[in-house]
Amino acid sequence: MDKTIASAGISIVEPKSTMNPGTSLVNEVPTSFRIVQQKPKHAVNSANDSVRVISIEEYKEAALCLAEAFAEDDVARYFIDVPDREHWSEEDRWSLHVEILEYITYAHCLKGLVTTVGPNYGAVALW
């Protein structure tokens, strides 16, 4: 799988009193802070950098992206690195890790939202 880095916005949280409303997009949050995303000066909107919702047929590719991203994450491996699986090979553990993320991604495709950026699932978000 080719690795690419997609362009990303910058999110900043700062007090409302310091904001200039003409230069930023603002999402109100029910606190004294708000989340601000800088507006790009020259936005290029090609197929490679736009966010898109994946179809149910793409869940395995999206899940593989997540599996690679969370390969060494302690929380993601909580169900894999357990005493009753000590005799499993690392290949078997990896297969279980991918399978768990496939189930989670498929469920989000059915009852939630799964988005990606880039042609090779450079970033995947589950909502």
Whether residue 32 is found in the same domain as residue 65? no
Whether residue 78 is found in the same domain as residue 110? yes
Q: Is 115 exposed, middle or buried (0-12, 13-18, 19+ CB in 10 A)?
A: middle
Residue the block writes with tokens 């990606």: 116
pLDDT of residue 45: 53
pLDDT band at 93 (very low <50, low <70, confident <90, very high): very high
Whether residue 58 is found in the same domain as residue 14? no
Whether residue 36 is found in the same domain as residue 56? no
**DSSP 3-state assignment of 117?**
strand
Beta bridge partners of 99: none
pLDDT of residue 27: 47
What is each CA distance from 85 to 5, 88, 89, in whole angstroms? Answer: 35, 5, 9
Whether residue 67 is found in the same domain as residue 103? yes
- Contact between 40 and 23 under an 8 Å Cβ cutoff? The reply is no
Whether residue 96 is found in the same domain as residue 75? yes
Domain that holds residue 85: 51-126
Q: What predicted TM-score, i.e. pTM, was given to this entire model?
A: 0.61
pLDDT of residue 61: 94
Does the pLDDT at position 33 exceed 60?
no
Top pLDDT among 90 and 47 is at: 90
Whether residue 83 is found in the same domain as residue 117? yes
Whether residue 66 is found in the same domain as residue 104? yes
pLDDT band at 119 (very low <50, low <70, confident <90, very high): confident
Number of domains in the chain: 2
pLDDT in tens, 14-31: 444 555 555 444 444 444
* Cα angle 89, 90, 92; round to 5: 65
Whether residue 89 is found in the same domain as residue 122? yes
Write the DSSP symbol of residue 81.
S
